[in-house]
């Protein structure tokens, strides 16, 4: 198995922040989304898997004070912390989002893997914090690109929003809207932004 530090291209003295930065740069570079139509898709999947495993290995070693390279195998964080996450999932399924969020917050920063981000995204979705929820699902997908559960969760939010937009666009523009209607609606929305200090239609 390759040295995880070499995989991420960082020295063994690198700070946690430098490792995280290196990981995100590589994850962005090799993310499967960039290769959807490429014949090299399988190669990039392998590469991402290697990067994820290296990152998880370093984080695990540093969190537990383990010496680098003392572990014989690399496991994804979702498997590593499954007892805690299983309990959090149980709480979420039971609708106990407050406890689930509190449990997630108690997990130290260094131990927050893909599943942590996914579960936090689930909690935030339930709160109606859709922007942050998408960011958490994105992080989960970056860390574990092959996981269909995480990808589906992100797609579900995007698809719900797209479906909502399609509904009213079809019902309004498709049904023949007058110029007057559109202007009135625009003006109404403009003013909603004015109350927070911005101005979408500068002339009014």
Partner 1 sequence: MPQLRVCEHECWRAVYCGLCKCMGRHVCADSALALSYDAAFLALVRLAATGEKTEISARRCILHPTKKRLVMEPNDSLRFSASVGALLAYHKIADDFSDERTLFRLLLLPEAKRLRRKAGLSELDAIVTERLGALYEAERVAQKEHGASLDKLAELAGAALSPIFAYRLEGSAARVTAELGRRVGRWVYIADAAHDLEKDFRKKRFNPFLFGAAQENPEGGKLSAADREAAIAAMALERRAAEAAINLIECADAGIISILRNIITLGMGSVEEKLLGSSGA
Q: Which residues of this protein are in contact with partner 1, per CB under 8 A?
A: 124, 127-135, 138, 157-158, 160-162, 164-165, 168-169, 171-172, 175, 177-178, 180-182, 184-198, 200
In the Cβ-directed half-sphere of 143, how many Cα atoms lie within 13 Å? 26
Q: Which is nearer to partner 1, 64 or 159 (CB)?
A: 159
Residue 55 and residue 4 in contact, taking contact as beta carbons nearer than 8 Å:
yes
Smallest distance, Å, CB 201 to partner 1?
A: 9
Least Å distance, CB 185 to partner 1, is: 3
Report yes or no: 137 and 153 within 8 Å, Cβ to Cβ: yes
CB of 182 to partner 1, least distance (A): 7
For residue 137, count other CB atoms closer than 10 A to its CB.
26
The Cα 90–Cα 111 span in angstroms is: 20
- CB nearer to partner 1: pick between 24 and 107: 24
Q: What is the C-alpha to C-alpha distance for residues 155 and 149, in angstroms, rounded to an integer?
A: 10
- Minimum CB distance to partner 1 smaller for 3 or for 194: 194
Give the shortest CB-189-to-partner 1 separation in angstroms: 4
């Amino acid at each position: 198995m390759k040295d995880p530090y070499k995989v991420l291209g960082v020295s063994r003295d690198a700070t946690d922040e430098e490792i995280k930065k290196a990981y995100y740069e590589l994850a962005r570079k090799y993310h499967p989304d960039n290769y959807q139509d490429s014949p090299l898709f399988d190669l990039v999947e392998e590469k991402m898997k290697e990067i994820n495993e290296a990152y998880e290995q370093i984080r695990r070693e540093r969190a537990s004070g383990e010496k680098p390279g003392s572990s014989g195998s690399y496991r994804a964080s979702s498997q590593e912390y499954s007892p805690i996450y299983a309990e959090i999932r149980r709480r979420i399924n039971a609708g106990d989002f407050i406890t689930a969020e509190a449990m997630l917050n108690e997990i130290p920063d260094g131990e927050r893997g893909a599943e942590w981000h996914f579960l936090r995204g689930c909690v935030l979705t339930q709160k109606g914090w859709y922007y942050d929820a998408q960011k958490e699902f994105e992080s989960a997908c970056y860390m574990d690109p092959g996981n269909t559960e995480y990808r589906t969760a992100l797609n579900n939010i995007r698809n719900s929003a797209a479906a909502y937009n399609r509904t009213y666009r079809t019902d309004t523009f498709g049904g023949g809207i007058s110029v007057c209607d559109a202007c009135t609606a625009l003006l109404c929305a403009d003013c909603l932004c004015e109350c927070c200090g911005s101005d979408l239609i500068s002339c009014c």
